[in-house]
Amino acid sequence: MNFANPPVIEAWIEFRFSYNEDAPYWDEARAEAFIRDHFKESFKVNSYFGRSEIAVDASKGRPDFSKPKLIFERIRAASEGDDRYVQAGRDILIYNMLRKEKDWPEYPTLRSEALDVYDKYVDYLKPSALRTISLHYRDIVVIPFDENSKVKLDNYFTILPKVPEDAYGSISGFMIALDMPEVCKSGMIRLILKNEPSPRNAKEPSANARFRMDWHLSPNEMIDSLDKKVVSEWLDQAHDDLFKAFVAAFTKEGINLFT
């Protein structure tokens, strides 16, 4: 089943690695070299991420906030069109694809591009194993409605927030998170469903209702392999599982929003 107007606005694949011995040295310079040497002009560094470590003054028994130690963790680089991102740390790699136009490149493009970056990362840092992998999708579901009436969610969704109306009245906003370990062959799905305010520069009419669906799928067991064929097969199964779960989350009228 292909959708003429899929609701996806972002998708990403996350890889986490392990090392048999000490993890390789990692700082801003080595992270910048990874982007510069492997992506040339196609990606430019735009962000650095890290954390602060605070020492505890033993004599006073309290943290000393005067000299925080900054620990670099991750770099992020963006494509020229700001529709692709590479995030790299000592033991983590994330490849993001954002929807900037009406057309969406679809999953095979995401997998192919992410695995190309994966090859570059493995060649550069030489981890001993892929500890885990996860596939993520973010959808924005837009439902038109009459301002004088309510959106009946059960006309569109099979997954619903419900409270006793006689006790609580109507719902003006919601967020639900579901962990579902039995839906997929490839692992466990976490779905976060919430209502979403319209952005100020939204092109759709203000009367539209918006709902965000965040889909996260991770394996139940450690992958424990760097073999790209194994990784690709897991991703393909995960994508098929997520797509089936997505379709099952909607009624026929809901699916019609995307056709």
Name the percent of the chain lying above pLDDT 70. 91
Tokens of 35: 């982007």
Tens digits of residue pLDDT in 97-110: 999 877 788 899 99
Distance separating alpha carbons of residues 74 and 135, to the nearest angstrom:
19
Tens digits of residue pLDDT in 229-253: 999 999 999 999 999 999 999 999 9
The pLDDT, as a whole number, for residue 112 is 97
Maximum mean pLDDT: which of 18-27, 126-135, 183-192:
126-135
pTM value? 0.89
Tens digits of residue pLDDT in 53-100: 777 766 666 776 667 778 899 999 999 999 999 999 999 999 999 998
Contact 159, 249 (CB under 8 A): yes
Contact 198, 102 (CB under 8 A): no
Distance separating alpha carbons of residues 38 and 126, to the nearest angstrom:
15
Which residue(s) pair with 163 in the sheet?
Answer: none
Tokens of 221: 């067991």
Q: How far is CA 244 from CA 82, 98, 158, 170, 240, in A?
A: 29, 22, 13, 31, 6
Where in the chain are the domains? 8-24+90-258
Please list the alpha-helical segments (H only) found in 61-179: 107-125, 165-168
- Output the CA torsion 186→190→195→198 (10° steps): -60
